[in-house]
Amino acid sequence: MSQARIVLLASGSGSIAQAIIDAVKSGTLDAQVVGLICDQSGAQVLERATTAKIETFLIPMQQDRSNWDRDIFNKLSSLKPDLIVSAGFMRILSSDCVANFRIVNSHPALLPLFPGAHAVRDALASGAAETGTTIHWVDKGVDTGEIIAQETVEITPTDTEATLHERIKIVERRLYVATLQQLLTNLVRY
């Protein structure tokens, strides 16, 4: 059987994408990264993908959101992914997109707690003793898809948003790769 085709979606530095790229390169993750889509022209993840010889596609947000949604959908369709992996992609995908593709995402909190873009800050502000990371299916809501895996991270009294987020990312990268391998092993190809 051929390797699963995955497409990465990313917006930022790309540390999660890099962990996935490294796992594919080492053979830990049995997949082929067939492309990386990014919405930010200056994102470091573009350099990481280029260095790894992964084709990149820059699709910046447009004034007319429906044009952007269509461009993302068309690019994903052309890449024929078995699985789309959101690795720090800070955009909501259209309902048409999530209805037609299998998309997985990681989130830096124990969903359903602290959904949205400020999960780490929100966890600190709540006074919670712990938070963590969640790997979940993407649906048309914001961080509302079915939970696949979670792991907790203790919040210490000295944590800042930056230190806590970095500790979460360490756990998130490991959990994401392990979860992806499990998903790809059980994946029924189209």
* pLDDT digit string, tens, across residues 23-68: 999 999 999 999 999 999 999 999 999 999 999 999 999 999 999 9
Residue 106 belongs to domain spanning: 4-186
Q: Give the residue numbers marked as catalytic.
A: 107
**Tens-place pLDDT, residues 118-173:** 999 999 999 999 999 999 999 999 999 999 999 999 999 999 999 999 999 999 99
Number of domains in the chain: 1
How far, CA to CA in Å, does 56 sit from each of 49, 61, 87? 7, 16, 14
Strand order across the beta sheet in which 147-154 lies: 56-58, 31-38, 4-10, 83-86, 103-107, 130-137, 147-154
* 54-63 long-range Cβ contacts below 8 angstroms, 24+ apart: 54/8, 54/21, 61/91
CATH number at residue 146: 3.40.50.170
> What global pTM score does this model have?
0.94
Amino acid at 46: L
